[in-house]
Structures are given as structure tokens and as C-alpha cells.
């Protein structure tokens, strides 16, 4: 196991190496976004297809002007939600120094300023944009602890351990490259809260292949089959419970006993990781989660986990 300090992590980034870093959403596999060969190492370590673009992380909103074209909508969202679990997809400036591979060749760039104190300090130290997708093998469940990172990418990976992620779900991705603001991925900030700041409804793109290539892939899949909206026990399943657990399950991982969606979001991936490693289980049953607020993002990930294998 290779735990690194913050100055070792910063050195690795400056040298063009990858390092797994904590953010408040999930752990990211980071590399210098302006260094094409460093970025290539992210795709290789994750087994990620190169048509799936990466999110670029910045220390300060002032860094945006050199990278992308900002409009009034983007400025309002940055003021309201950064640092935090919101990623904005904006048109790249013609002289944008970020490697084209980060955008998978698209004319747009996804940007986020994370809130985790270690991530912020690291980004300030390296003083350049840092590309970081979730630090898991492509298609697997995203990591919310340093141990999850090692389970997925191997013990040789350098990890800056910042403890468990407080949000626990990836950022919400909003597309601002056209007339209408689009919800490219539901995530850690509720769509309703973003709409309240924008004063308009977020459009859900119908053709996600063009909009957000990553959303079409098999994703977030644990080893065990996942059964959604469970109403009764079946076989030797473990249970992800929401509210009062259903009877008849020997192994229960409570997402939130008090039915709190933020708490359930923060515990979702930990629950999938944990049940996936319990010997003797033949599946994961999940109780219904309300489709509102953060429930949208939780159900999005659960649907992918259920059909992803």
C-alpha cells in the first residue's frame, strides 16, 4: 500500500505521474491536465475508453478564464455552488492549454472546483488544472475511501488518504455549451437547487452519446447482481435498506435509517462495496429510494449497477 503525503502527491503531479486523491464526492485518479502523456496514464490505469472525457479540477474560479468561455449562467452557478459537487461543461477557448485527450477531442471541457480541504490544498500547490475521473477500474463502483481505491486499482497505486468522502456520489454535470442548460449527469447537488439558481428547467438530453459519452457505458457495477425496489427477501441476498429495513435479510447495510437522502447518498458506494465482499451472498437487494432531490442521482447509479454486469 502506497500512502503519499500532500507534498509527495504534488510532486507526482508535477512530474507527470498519476496519484489518487480525495474529493468530497469520490476519490479521483489525478494527473496534470496540461500534460498529454500524464493524461494517457489515467486512461491506461482505469482501462477507460478514450472517447470518454475527463473532469478538470481547479483550485480557484479565477483559473476558468484561461480555459473556457464563460457566460452569465456559468458565473451564477460557480458563485452559488463552488467549491462543491457541481461540474460545468463549457466551450474550450481556442488557446486552452488542457490536453485535447481530457475532452476526448470534444470542443468542450468539464470543470469542477472540489470542496475537500486536501484536494484544495493540493490543487493550490500544483497551480495547474488537474484531470481526475473517479479512481476505479472503468465500469466498477466508484471509491469513497482510500481502501476502495486500492481494491479497484491495486495496491501499487499512490493514494493521498483524506478519509471517507462526505458526499459519496459523483458531482452533478451540467452542460452549458448550447442555448439550454442540460443535466448531463445527476449527482451530489440536487437538480432542483441548480434550477432555482438558473431560473430555468434543466433539459435532459435525449442523445447522450453526443452529450456525455460516459453516461452510456456500463457503470458502477458491483460483482453481485443488484435487484431494485425490493419488497421482500429472496435467496441469499444482502439488503441495502432505506428507512426501516425489510424483514428476512441476515445481512443488512442501512443507507439511512431515518430516510435521509443525503445520508443515503454518502453511504451508497460504501454499501455496494461492503455487501459485494460478504462471503455467501448471491445478490444485493435494494429498498425503494424516493425519486426526488439526491434520490435522482442515487437511483441513476442503482439502475446502472443493476444492469451493468
Q: Which residues bind Mg ion (CB under 5 A)?
A: 134
CB-CB contact of 166 with 178 (8 Å): no
Degrees (nearest 5) of the Cα angle 293, 115, 47?
85
Residue 108 found at the interface with ligand TXA (CB under 6 A): yes
Backbone CA torsion sign across 200, 206, 207, 213:
positive
Residue 112 found at the interface with ligand TXA (CB under 6 A): yes
In angstroms, give the least distance from the CB of 79 to Mg ion. Answer: 27
Collapsed DSSP state (helix, strand, coil) of residue 270 = helix
Q: SS3 breakdown of the chain: % helix, strand, coil, rounded to 5?
A: 35, 20, 50
**Among residues 86, 99, 110, 261, which is the contact residue for ligand TXA, using CB under 6 A?**
110
Residue 149 touches which member of Mg ion, ligand TXA, none, C-beta under 5-8 Å by kind: none
Residue 256 touches which member of Mg ion, ligand TXA, none, C-beta under 5-8 Å by kind: none
Q: How far apart are CA 52 and CA 29, in angstroms?
A: 15
Q: Which of the ranges 2-10, 21-29, 154-162, 247-255 carries the binding residues for ligand TXA, by CB under 6 A?
A: 21-29
Per-residue DSSP letter, 243: S
In angstroms, give the least distance from the CB of 161 to ligand TXA. Answer: 15
The per-residue b/e assignment along 156-184, b for 16 or more CB within 10 angstroms, e otherwise, is ebbbbbbebbbbbbbbbbbbbbeeebbbb
In angstroms, give the least distance from the CB of 172 to ligand TXA. Answer: 8
Joined grid coordinates for residue 248:
428476512
**Among residues 34, 63, 103, 166, which is the contact residue for ligand TXA, using CB under 6 A?**
103
Alpha carbons within 13 A on the beta-carbon side of 258 = 3
**Among residues 33, 98, 130, 184, which is the contact residue for ligand TXA, using CB under 6 A?**
184
In angstroms, give the least distance from the CB of 76 to ligand TXA. Answer: 20
Residue 109 touches which member of Mg ion, ligand TXA, none, C-beta under 5-8 Å by kind: ligand TXA
Residue 160 found at the interface with ligand TXA (CB under 6 A): no
Q: Pairing relation of β-strands 2-3 and 158-159? A: parallel
Q: Cell 492549454, residue?
A: 97
- 183's enclosing H/E stretch is strand 182-185
**Among residues 22, 53, 254, 295, which is the contact residue for ligand TXA, using CB under 6 A?**
53
Q: Which of residues 120-149 bind ligand TXA (CB under 6 A)?
A: 132-134
Closer to ligand TXA by CB, 162 or 295: give it: 162
Closer to Mg ion by CB, 108 or 134: give it: 134
In angstroms, give the least distance from the CB of 248 to ligand TXA. Answer: 35
Q: Among residues 110, 94, 20, 15, which one has the least CA distance to residue 57? A: 110
Sheet holding 237-242, edge to edge: 226-227, 283-286, 237-242, 252-256
Q: Which of the ranges 122-130, 207-215, 239-247, 266-274 carries the binding residues for ligand TXA, by CB under 6 A?
A: 207-215
Q: Is 248 exposed, middle or buried (0-12, 13-18, 19+ CB in 10 A)?
A: exposed
Residue 212 found at the interface with ligand TXA (CB under 6 A): yes
Q: How far apart are CA 307 and CA 302, in angstroms?
A: 9
Closer to ligand TXA by CB, 21 or 239: give it: 21
In angstroms, give the least distance from the CB of 219 to Mg ion. Answer: 7
Which residues contact ligand TXA by CB under 6 A? 23, 25-26, 28, 52-55, 87, 89, 103, 106, 108-110, 112, 132-134, 170-171, 173, 184-185, 211-215
Amino acid at each position: 500500500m502506497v500512502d503519499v503525503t500532500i507534498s509527495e502527491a504534488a510532486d507526482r503531479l508535477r512530474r507527470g505521474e498519476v496519484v489518487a486523491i480525495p474529493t468530497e464526492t469520490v476519490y479521483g485518479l489525478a494527473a496534470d491536465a496540461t500534460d498529454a502523456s500524464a493524461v494517457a496514464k489515467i486512461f491506461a490505469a482505469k482501462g477507460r475508453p478514450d472517447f470518454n472525457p475527463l473532469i478538470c479540477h481547479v483550485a480557484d474560479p479565477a483559473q476558468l478564464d484561461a480555459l473556457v468561455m464563460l457566460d452569465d449562467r456559468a458565473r451564477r452557478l460557480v458563485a452559488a455552488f463552488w467549491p462543491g459537487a457541481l461540474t460545468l461543461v463549457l466551450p474550450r477557448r481556442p488557446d486552452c492549454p488542457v490536453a485535447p485527450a481530457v475532452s476526448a477531442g470534444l470542443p468542450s471541457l468539464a470543470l469542477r472546483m472540489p470542496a475537500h480541504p486536501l484536494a484544495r490544498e493540493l490543487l493550490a500547490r500544483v497551480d495547474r488544472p488537474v484531470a481526475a475521473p473517479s479512481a476505479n477500474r472503468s465500469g466498477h463502483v466508484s471509491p469513497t475511501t482510500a481502501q476502495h481505491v486500492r481494491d479497484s486499482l491495486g495496491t501499487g497505486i499512490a493514494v493521498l488518504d483524506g478519509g471517507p468522502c462526505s458526499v459519496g456520489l459523483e458531482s452533478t454535470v451540467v452542460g452549458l455549451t448550447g442555448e439550454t442548460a442540460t443535466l448531463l449527469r445527476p449527482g451530489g447537488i440536487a437538480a432542483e437547487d441548480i434550477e432555482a439558481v438558473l431560473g430555468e428547467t434543466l433539459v435532459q438530453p435525449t442523445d447522450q452519446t453526443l452529450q456525455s459519452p460516459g453516461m452510456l457505458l456500463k457503470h458502477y457495477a458491483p460483482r453481485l447482481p443488484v435487484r431494485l425496489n425490493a419488497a421482500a427477501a429472496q435467496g441469499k441476498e444482502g439488503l441495502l435498506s432505506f428507512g426501516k429495513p425489510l424483514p428476512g435479510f441476515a445481512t443488512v447495510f442501512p443507507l439511512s435509517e431515518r430516510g435521509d437522502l443525503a445520508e443515503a447518498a454518502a453511504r451508497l458506494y460504501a454499501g455496494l462495496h461492503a455487501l459485494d465482499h460478504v462471503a455467501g451472498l448471491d445478490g444485493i437487494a435494494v429498498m425503494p429510494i424516493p425519486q426526488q432531490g439526491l434520490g435522482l442521482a442515487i437511483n441513476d447509479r442503482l439502475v446502472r449497477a443493476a444492469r451493468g454486469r
